[in-house]
């Protein structure tokens, strides 16, 4: 999981990858910790899908930029499955599960 700390790094990730998963993660929220664990479970068996994370406390500007970029209200935790620069799936809180990520990425 690669940490995104700038708007430019986010835009570069979109350019570099046909598909990716992005997690907005709160470093202090236990629900967000569970969501991160779910993404790590998914990631362990899907190494072909790049994963990125934004620590919202440290990079609020990047998190807000993503919300504006996709016109999707900010939540935390919040996961996005992005294909060809478009959000194909997003979920927040307890809806962030490895099974849901599996269902949207399997082709």
Q: What is the pTM of this model?
A: 0.92
For 66, the enclosing helix (H) or strand (E) is helix 60-70
pLDDT in tens for each of the 107 residues of the chain? 999 999 999 999 999 999 999 999 999 999 999 999 999 999 999 989 999 999 999 999 999 999 999 999 988 899 999 999 999 999 999 889 999 998 988 66
CA distance 107 to 98: 16
Other C-beta atoms closer than 10 Å to the C-beta of 62 total: 20
> In order of start, what are the domains of the chain with their CATH numbers?
2-95 (3.40.30.10)
């Amino acid at each position: 999981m690669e940490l995104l700390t700038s708007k430019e790094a986010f835009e570069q990730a979109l350019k570099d990858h046909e598909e990716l998963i992005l997690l907005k993660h709160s470093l202090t929220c236990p629900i967000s910790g569970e969501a991160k664990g779910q993404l790590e479970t998914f990631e362990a068996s899907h190494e072909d899908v790049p994963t990125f994370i934004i620590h919202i406390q440290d990079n609020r500007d990047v998190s807000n930029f993503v919300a504006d970029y996709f016109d999707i209200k900010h939540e935390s935790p919040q996961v996005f499955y992005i294909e060809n620069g478009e959000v194909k799936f997003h979920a927040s809180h307890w809806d962030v599960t490895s099974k849901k990520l599996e269902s949207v990425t399997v082709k």
